[in-house]
Chain A
Amino acid sequence: SYVLTQPPSVSVAPGQTARITCGGNNIGSKSVHWYQQKPGQAPVLVVYDDSDRPSGIPERFSGSNSGNTATLTISRVEAGDEADYYCQVWDSSSDPHVVFGGGTKLTVL
């Protein structure tokens, strides 16, 4: 089955840029979605289809996807960005299934 690999943690100082990766075999051929989950809250979609942002999500959040790695980039990181981030893909083949990455804890120093 398809596996998505994320680093368990990423740390960044306020104002700097955070990059969270999501690795998968030829992930560049799939559409990748990213979710932010703050403690005690439900996940929220922050980037979909590799690089699109839902309404209400700041432009500081962006995404890219190529080869075997998708990346969520958060520019000008703020304390409020501290959260868990998950990548996800949808395989709509004859055996459709959803795959989530293991999640990355973003710590703002």
Chain B
Amino acid sequence: EVQLVQSGAEVKKPGESLKISCKGSGYSFTSYWIGWVRQMPGKGLEWMGIIYPGDSDTRYSPSFQGQVTISADKSISTAYLQWSSLKASDTAMYYCARHHTVTTGRFDPWGQGTLVTVSS
């Protein structure tokens, strides 16, 4: 079974750094892009970026370029999303999902989500 399992919920203070993870299993992790999607409380889905774990080629949404860093460690089939200095506005649910980039770009499957709360 293809599965993406994300790290647990985080509570952080403004200005702190954070790295959340997404571990893939059940398929060749280096053969598919992984995407990250933000969902702020009560809002819709926003694409943040995608990474190809095979060579770490990364593409960012212009809205998130410079705000976050996407990375991957193919040796442990894990992708990451990190912040160097969190803001209250980063409070959201973050999902990773396998992106079928070479075909028509659907996301399937999705991780269970990681809730990030930033509050002083």
Partner of A43, one of B45, B50, B59, B99: B45
| Inter-chain contact A48/B108, CB cutoff 8 Å | yes
Interface residues of A in 49-75 (CB under 8 A from B): 49, 54
> Top 5 closest A-B pairs, CB basis?
A90-B105, A31-B104, A98-B47, A45-B108, A33-B106
Residues of A within 8 A of B111 (CB): 42
| Inter-chain contact A92/B101, CB cutoff 8 Å | yes
Majority SS at the chain B contact face: strand
Q: Number of residues in A with C-beta < 8 Å to the partner?
A: 25
What 15 additional pairs, Cβ within 8 angstroms, besides A35-B107, A100-B47?
Answer: A31-B106, A33-B106, A33-B107, A42-B95, A42-B112, A42-B113, A44-B110, A48-B106, A84-B44, A88-B45, A89-B105, A98-B35, A98-B61, A102-B44, A103-B45
Q: Given that A35-B107, A45-B107, A92-B105 are contacting pairs, would A97 and B44 also be in contact in the complex, using a CB cutoff of 8 Å?
A: no
Chain B residue at minimum C-beta to C-beta distance from A89: B105
Residues of A within 8 A of B35 (CB): 98
Residues of B within 8 A of A102 (CB): 44
Q: Mark A18-51, 1 if CB is under 8 A from B, else 0.
A: 0000000000000101010100001111001100
Q: How far is the CA of A42 from the CA of B47 in the complex (A)?
A: 14
Majority SS at the chain A contact face: strand
Q: How far is the CA of A100 from the CA of B95 in the complex (A)?
A: 14
Chain A residue at minimum C-beta to C-beta distance from B95: A42
Which residues does B use to contact A, with CB under 8 Å? 35, 37, 44-47, 50, 59, 61-62, 95, 97, 99, 101, 103-113
In angstroms, how far is the closest chain B Cβ from the Cβ of A96?
6
Ordered by A's residue number, 28 sampled pairs between the chains whose C-beta atoms are within 8 Å are A31-B105, A31-B106, A33-B107, A35-B107, A42-B112, A43-B110, A45-B107, A45-B108, A48-B108, A54-B108, A86-B45, A88-B105, A88-B106, A90-B105, A92-B101, A92-B105, A96-B59, A97-B47, A97-B61, A98-B35, A98-B50, A98-B61, A98-B105, A100-B44, A100-B47, A101-B44, A103-B44, A103-B45
